[in-house]
Structure 1
Amino acid sequence: MFRTSFRSFFRSRAARTAAAALAGLALTALTALAPADATPSAETTAIARVSGSAQIHYALRPHDEIWFTIDAEGAPNTHPVPGVPGGLPTDARGTVHFSHRVVETGEVRQADAAVDCLSTGGPVATLTAVITKSDAMTVGQRIGLSIYDAHGHGKDRLGFSWGVGNMDLDKGGNPYQPVVGTCMAIAPFAPVTRGEFTVHPVELPTPSAP
């Protein structure tokens, strides 16, 4: 009886071993057949993004209707400039549309701009864009925007460079609005009242070793 039981156990164990080996071979074969890019890593596919359309409450013009529509994404190292032929990791592309309706007169002022820089950190992003068409701003002027994505916990917020900041004094002591540098923006001071913004943050890449 002992010999019979031992033989049965041995046969069973041998069968299990063979089955496991066949399963391993099958898994190896499937892995070899799978395309190399079936599951791309986050490091190669992650792109910073800001999108959305929203009306904001601007404290200095509380009754006016002010809307921003943003569709921006990172495009690292695509804007070469003198001295930086490889561009910057914050290079970006996309569009911004701005609309401001003055309640007292019904006048509507609008502007379109092309995004040139985007930086993100957690729920906050700053971006800059160059005016391409406007009835209120100078074509070629760079504007700065900041966006706070509350993720449903409170209100999203937005800040715009010409709203309550970006002022300097000339040699005569007269105030003027200086040029906005790429990715430079004021804090997101204005709460969203309608609509929403979404910020998809991405860490800056670590420079490769020389």
Structure 2
Amino acid sequence: MHEFIEWPKTKRLFRDIVVTEKLDGTNSAVHISQADYNDVPDHATLVGVDGTVYALSAQSRKRIITPGKTTDNYGFAGWVYDNAADLVRILGEGLHFGEWWGSGIQRGYGIAGRRFSLFNTERWYKTGEDGLDSMATRAGTTALFDQIDAVPVLYSGTFSEQRITDALHDLKTFGSKAAPGFRNPEGVCVYHTQTRGVFKVTLDNNDAGKWEAAA
């Protein structure tokens, strides 16, 4: 028997986009939620902050990770566990996705140490509805001020192929925005606000096109 299946509403292309630098590290996330010492989630660490208990867990692109030589992913889980209280104060509850990058990971970017750069730039810079400081401001008051941030925004506005091309050209010409002086950035990610989709364009031959001709 055939059933009616509706064609989904067509999204509009010329809506706002956010173009950010695509960092070549490892996809990671930290999950923060309120918890109870008597009900500890699997693969999580507990920490008390201002009288409230929070559970934190870390993940890579494909799995939950924990500190340890064979269970971690470039030390990200160890970093989350070691800095649990500061991460709660900076990020608050939620699932926070980003790139764990720096020394010893993929391109390395010529920096000492490693950093966690969040993908959701709006969330990082936005002042809370309750008037509290943004995540970016809170990070500056902790020991993690130079270890956590958001991916660099290269353009924010109405969809424009030219703006994406310009962002790629600038990266190729001037190098990474996340790590000034590093001359081999990977490319860009384009977040389309209406579709909530993320698309990547890299500076390698896989995405050679008009931007390369303009370089």
In the superposition, the TM-score normalised over structure 2's length comes to: 0.24
Higher normalized contact order (CA 8 Å, seq sep 6+, divided by chain length): 2
Structure of larger gyration radius: 1
In the superposition, the TM-score normalised over structure 1's length comes to: 0.24
Greater share of strand: 1
